[in-house]
Amino acid sequence: MIAVDSNILVYAQREDSQWHRPALAVIRALAEGAASWAIPWPCLYEYYAIVTHPKIYNPPTPAADALKRIRYWQESPGLVLLGETEKFFSILDEIVSRSAVVGAAIHDARIASLCLYHGVKTLYTADRDFSRFPKLKTQNPLV
């Protein structure tokens, strides 16, 4: 299963991004395809926070449009939303211990842990910071 990171979701939404067209094509292919694909819940929150933030985008994406896009993704029959369970912490604990993650980098460790916990084979991301988690295969589908 392929999971999608926040940055790919943001680029797919924001037409003013240089990566808009390829990101939109990637998301459409996943959403309209027959295979299962995933979005970690924290990536949905981060997507919403970024596209609606007036200090990041001028003008920001209206909240109603961002929520509409999330609903659209949820309508994809193959979408799996990745969340924590009571057994999740053991994977997070291992990843944080091995990578020596501190501070805000815990967000990426959480995404990586969710992917590994749920059996994700590849995380589509444009963020090279995930290289600190060698157990998780990443791919930038935009290049």
Closest among 45, 38, 47 to 115, alpha carbons compared: 38
* pLDDT per residue rounded down to tens, the chain (143 residues): 999 999 999 999 999 999 999 999 999 999 999 999 999 999 999 999 999 999 999 999 999 999 999 999 999 999 999 999 988 999 999 999 999 999 999 999 999 999 999 999 999 999 999 999 999 999 999 99
pLDDT value, residue 88: 92
Give the Cα separation of 115 and 118 in Å (integer): 5
Q: Which amino acid is at 15?
A: E
User: pTM of the prediction?
Assistant: 0.95
pLDDT value, residue 68: 97
pLDDT value, residue 116: 97
Q: Which residues contact 18 (CB under 8 A, 6 or more apart)?
A: none
Cβ count near 65 (within 10 Å): 13
Buried residues in 23-55 as b, exposed as e (16+ CB within 10 A): bbebbeebbeeeeebbbbebbbebbbebbbeee
Residue whose entry in the numeric block shows the structure tokens 């999971």 = 3
Give the Cα separation of 112 and 97 in Å (integer): 13
Q: Which helix (H) or strand (E) holds 43?
A: helix 41-51
- CA dist list (Å): 92 to 2, 99, 109: 19, 11, 7
- CA dist list (Å): 6 to 45, 72, 87, 113: 8, 16, 24, 15
**Domains detected in the chain:** 2-139 (3.40.50.1010)
